[in-house]
Structure 1
Amino acid sequence: MTALNQAPETKATGETAAIYDDLRYTLEAYRATNDERLAELETRMGGDVLTGEKLARLDDALDETRRRLDRLSLDSRRPALGASEERDPAVAEHKAAFAAYVRHGEATGLKRLEAKALSAGSGPDGGYLAPSTVEGEILRRLATVSPIRSIATVRTISSGTYKKAFSTTGPASGWVAETAARPQTGTPTLAELSFPAMELYAMPAATQTLLDDAIVDIDQWIAEEVESAFAEQEGAAFVTGDGVDKPKGFLAYPTVADTSWSWGNIGTLKTGVAGAFAASNPSDILVDLVYALKAGYRQNASFVMNRKTQAAVRKFKDSTGQYLWQPPAAAGAQATLLGFPVVEAEDMPNVATDSVSIAFGDFRRGYLVVDRAGVRILRDPYSAKPHVLFYTTKRVGGGVQDFAAIKGLKFSA
């Protein structure tokens, strides 16, 4: 009986307190009934059957209450699934307030939290900041399904623009004798690359029945709904985007013959035939494309092309009759061409006259994707009744950060 009255090690919640109340009342009833049974045994030389049954029921009730208490204690000690920030009370509070807003349109909790955080741009017009778990799930999915994002450098920023300085001319250098005078070196010339984050949006719809279903993981549902929409828009922008209200794609920069390449341009090689590979030894130009890239970039380089171009390249063989394109060696791996991974990007141009339909390079060094922290969601239950729309926005930018790291194959004479 003493063990039943011990205080729990963790702070009692409302549910814990209720269980302890049940335990105390049941224990008092058990003691009273047991005293009654003992008195009957002393006076009647035998216990009442009804009293014995009541005592058995109370004993079972005590066991059940103790099981509930043990289960609650284990749940409180169980580590959170996913990131450690899930155990942060502030994160949990934000997530609960966000769930109330998404499911029922109750924005009081989010207003209070964002007012406390002095968050600008929140409210009914701009939507509310989604929990970090939602944002993290969206970005994780995009890294998997967005082809260029999966091979580029991705940085998260808190401002509207990411600026990066680079040297157009390095300092002068040279060899000098141990005791000789050291001439003053030239001053490097610096320029600046700017990557503004543009707004990308999606508008998934849900029925109120789905939102009322407590089993549905609302964070995962939102991530799944916006995944394909965001990935499709990003995929096109990172390849051919013009930089106006969207990221600038690597094919939107000026292209020049690789022999006359200069910073700010994408160097290209020509197939020698307008809109096609050469009739004889067509794969030779792919070898030239690989070695147009400096050795430091080739180590992590990838081919980027769409499925139609890949279908044509898959037919190429070497002098021994072996196909140059090789299928993935394991589940989740990528196909290879000349030993380098092949990334399939549907937004790459089809083979046509003067098209740059194949790119090769170290995109992790060559292309930069910037994500502004925060995903905002505005709940709209009026525009498409009886459905509820969720206007979901994130800010993303992109552009070439190292023009020497990417080369293109132009299908021209």
Structure 2
Amino acid sequence: MKKTLNLGAAPRALCGAVRADATDPKALFDQLNAAVKEMRENNDAALASKVDDVVLTEKVDRINAEISKIEAAMDDALAKIASASLGKAEGPKDAEYTDQFNAYFRRGVSSERLENVKAAATKVDGEGGYLAPIEWDRTVTGRLKQVSVIRQYASVISISGAGFSKVFSDRNVGSGWVGETAARPSTTTPALSSLQFAIGEIYANPAASQGLIDDAEFSVEQWLADEVETEFSRQEGIAFLSGDGTNKPHGLLTYVTGGANAARHPWGAITTTNSGAAAALTGDGLLSLIYALPEEYEANAKLFMNRTTAGAARKLKDGQGNYLWQQAFEAGQPATIAGVPIVHLPAMPAVGASAVAALYGDMAETYQVVDRIGIRVLRDPYTNKPFVHFYTTKRVGGGVKNPDAMKALVIAA
């Protein structure tokens, strides 16, 4: 018999979804648990139905969408708490330089010391811009780590030169068993090759009116840090995942088999596992992906996917009817699939034919982010009067350093 629903009654989980204190992770976590429970109850009812119950299926999809919204709100609340704690760091390490830099912010007043730092920090002496105080630089970089998912989990190094290269062996080392007095013939010798991690320049160009800057209650430094964080994290999120390497990092997905950089690394491409269905996510496909990763990388391995894909994964069951998705037991901890932590990576492709819908592996071992030390700020009060622009730049690079530590799930039969 076909199941019926009272369409006038909103699902229990939807009634309060993201409407309680959206800045309280504990309240959001309670909503999340209630929503997951209700989604499973309705999904089980839909699966048990002998006919296709459109109304029940739509209800499951609505609750599933609300779960994603609650998760996003929780992530945002936790990120804001972490970001606020960064702002409570110790005072300036170099108060004199910080005062001079703030004077440059507000009034465009330079100093001999700022000029000396400018010449040392830029690619071309006198090209313009001043190196931000080190505590300001660290605060912005710390916030970027909270917002940019790949930066948060990848390896990050800071360099003072124009670029970075890493030497790799082809692992072609010969060996053999011999007797105590037997001759030792020559064995094969590994070849070495160098992989360049080119540095691109990322920029933001926020503007504020001179009147706003002159307001003693307005913190130009804090405002600019927030603007830079927002723009840099957005650009990094795109480039670290799909950048083409032209004036930007080489993106992680471009190293997957069939990608533009599949042959770039001496050790080969990031290999793929099929989902087992031409246009859908399957439990068997996810499990095959997880078991395709070599054991030495399992300790720090995570499953990376966007929220839409995560929504599809919540409905998957194993052969015994158990849900593969397990919600975390406390706020701030990730949900898991087959015991593997899930990380939401917004720019990942959604489930669709031939799409790379998920990545599984150790991101720190796989991807290298390269920061050129220092954020530069050029104050421009002339281009767009009466606004003052703060042209802010940071040189960043990135690329895969070990393709064996990551595997990709392709939606294919």
Whether TM exceeds 0.5 here: the answer is yes
Q: Are the equivalent residues in 2 in contact too, given 1:253–1:266 (CA < 8 A)? A: yes
Shift of 1:125: 4.0
Cα-to-partner distance string for 1:279-315 (whole Å, 9 max, x where unaligned) = xxx2011111011010011111111111111111111
Whose Rg is larger? 1
Shift of 1:390: 0.8
Cα-to-partner distance string for 1:147-198 (whole Å, 9 max, x where unaligned) = 1111111111111211000111242234455565544443211111110110
What's the C-alpha RMSD, in Å, of the aligned pairs?
Answer: 2.5
Q: Does 2:209 match 1:202?
A: no
Q: Which of 82, 99, 103 does residue 102 from structure 2 map onto?
A: 99
Q: Are the equivalent residues in 1 in contact too, given 2:101–2:114 (CA < 8 A)? A: no
Q: Are the equivalent residues in 2 in contact too, given 1:305–1:345 (CA < 8 A)? A: yes
Q: Are the equivalent residues in 2 in contact too, given 1:170–1:188 (CA < 8 A)? A: yes
Cα-to-partner distance string for 1:12-40 (whole Å, 9 max, x where unaligned) = xxxxxxxxxxxxxxxxxxxxxxxxxxxxx
Counterpart residue number, 2:386: 386
Counterpart residue number, 1:302: 302
Alpha carbons of structure 1 residues 326 and 388: separation in structure 2 relative to 1, 3 Å: farther
| Distance (whole Å) between structure 2 residues aligned to residue 244 and residue 329 of structure 1 | 43
Q: Helix, strand or coil: the match of 1:395?
A: strand
Counterpart residue number, 1:274: 278
* Deviation >6 Å, runs of 4+: none
Q: Does 2:358 match 1:354?
A: no
Q: Are the equivalent residues in 2 in contact too, given 1:305–1:359 (CA < 8 A)? A: yes
Shift of 1:94: 1.7
Counterpart residue number, 1:127: 129
Q: Are the equivalent residues in 2 in contact too, given 1:348–1:357 (CA < 8 A)? A: yes
Q: Are the equivalent residues in 2 in contact too, given 1:122–1:129 (CA < 8 A)? A: no
Counterpart residue number, 2:89: 82
| Distance (whole Å) between structure 2 residues aligned to residue 173 and residue 368 of structure 1 | 32
Residue identity matched to 1:266: I
Alpha carbons of structure 1 residues 248 and 121: separation in structure 2 relative to 1, 3 Å: closer
Q: Are the equivalent residues in 2 in contact too, given 1:98–1:110 (CA < 8 A)? A: no
Q: Are the equivalent residues in 2 in contact too, given 1:256–1:266 (CA < 8 A)? A: no
| Distance (whole Å) between structure 2 residues aligned to residue 213 and residue 179 of structure 1 | 86
Count the aligned residue pairs: 321
Alpha carbons of structure 1 residues 382 and 313: separation in structure 2 relative to 1, 3 Å: same
| Distance (whole Å) between structure 2 residues aligned to residue 335 and residue 113 of structure 1 | 50
Alpha carbons of structure 1 residues 256 and 114: separation in structure 2 relative to 1, 3 Å: closer
Provide structure 1 residue ranges, at least 5 long, that are not aligned to the other structure.
Answer: 1-80
Q: Helix, strand or coil: the match of 1:368?
A: strand
Alpha carbons of structure 1 residues 254 and 326: separation in structure 2 relative to 1, 3 Å: closer
Provide structure 2 residue ranges, at least 5 long, that are not aligned to the other structure.
Answer: 1-87, 260-264
| Distance (whole Å) between structure 1 residues aligned to residue 328 and residue 365 of structure 2 | 24
Matches within 5 A, 1:309-388: 309-388=309-388
Q: Helix, strand or coil: the match of 1:255?
A: coil
| Distance (whole Å) between structure 2 residues aligned to residue 386 and residue 112 of structure 1 | 26
| Distance (whole Å) between structure 2 residues aligned to residue 222 and residue 183 of structure 1 | 65
Q: Helix, strand or coil: the match of 1:266?
A: coil
Greater Cα offset, 166-175 or 395-404: 166-175
Q: Does 2:151 match 1:149?
A: yes
Matches within 5 A, 1:16-55: none
Q: Which of 257, 264, 271 does residue 268 from structure 2 map onto?
A: 264
Q: Are the equivalent residues in 1 in contact too, given 2:316–2:325 (CA < 8 A)? A: yes
Shift of 1:365: 0.4
Q: Helix, strand or coil: the match of 2:271?
A: strand
Alpha carbons of structure 1 residues 375 and 333: separation in structure 2 relative to 1, 3 Å: same
Q: Are the equivalent residues in 1 in contact too, given 2:100–2:114 (CA < 8 A)? A: no
Q: Are the equivalent residues in 1 in contact too, given 2:170–2:266 (CA < 8 A)? A: no
Residue identity matched to 2:394: K
Residue identity matched to 2:400: V
| Distance (whole Å) between structure 1 residues aligned to residue 209 and residue 331 of structure 2 | 36
Q: Percent identity?
A: 46
| Distance (whole Å) between structure 2 residues aligned to residue 321 and residue 275 of structure 1 | 22
Q: Are the equivalent residues in 2 in contact too, given 1:165–1:191 (CA < 8 A)? A: yes
Greater Cα offset, 102-111 or 91-100: 102-111
